[in-house]
Amino acid sequence: MKLGVLADAHGNVEAFDRALGELTGEADALLVAGDAFSDHRFSNDIVRAIREADALYVLGNHELTFLGPGGVRARESPRVSRTELAHVAEAPTELRCTIGGLRLLMVHGSPFPPYGRYLDPDSPEFERAGELDADLVVLGHTHLPMARRVGSTLIVNPGSVGMSDQPARGDDVGYAIVDTDSGEVAFRSFANPRRAGG
């Protein structure tokens, strides 16, 4: 089974749509690890695409800001689709399920408390992966693509599909494909359409 893994779209509809288009017909399921939009700038289009693709989806810190006390005015905007808002409001911050024969844990930030921390690919925290009772851990938040195996646990961060804010990556954004049978992870990237002007 192939899993298309996306995170941190931050409202970049053009990039998100391109990634979904590339994954259509290749990925058997889609996983979205949070920050579909940024703070109070809700994206009806991205949330609708997540919902219509029946993607597994967890909330990131930006969704939590939007759903929190400071997001009241933004939520009341007539531009926010009630259907898409309800989909976000019902989404979890942590998802556990079995997919492709693997026990999946998906979160946005750290899988260990405090959950809002940024864990870079070399973080020693990941050495504790055995405590998570998962074969596959998917997260986002850092915008840094990574695939790291610790014991029997594969940890994947697809990087950001919306914001090319890592100087070493230039203007590229991207996503990952996880093969649940082989355990292989492929990273795909493309120029950020927002910065390319198209």
pLDDT digits (tens, 9 = 90+) for 72-112: 999 999 999 999 999 999 999 999 999 999 999 999 999 99
Write down the pLDDT at residue 196. 56
Question: Closest by alpha carbon to 178, among 13, 33, 15?
Answer: 33
Question: Closest by alpha carbon to 36, among 97, 91, 111?
Answer: 91
| 197: pLDDT strictly greater than 50 | no
**In whole angstroms, what is the distance from residue 46 CA to residue 22 CA?**
16
Q: Could you give the domains of the chain? A: 2-196 (3.60.21.10)
Q: What is the mean pLDDT of the chain?
A: 95
**In whole angstroms, what is the distance from residue 107 CA to residue 94 CA?**
5
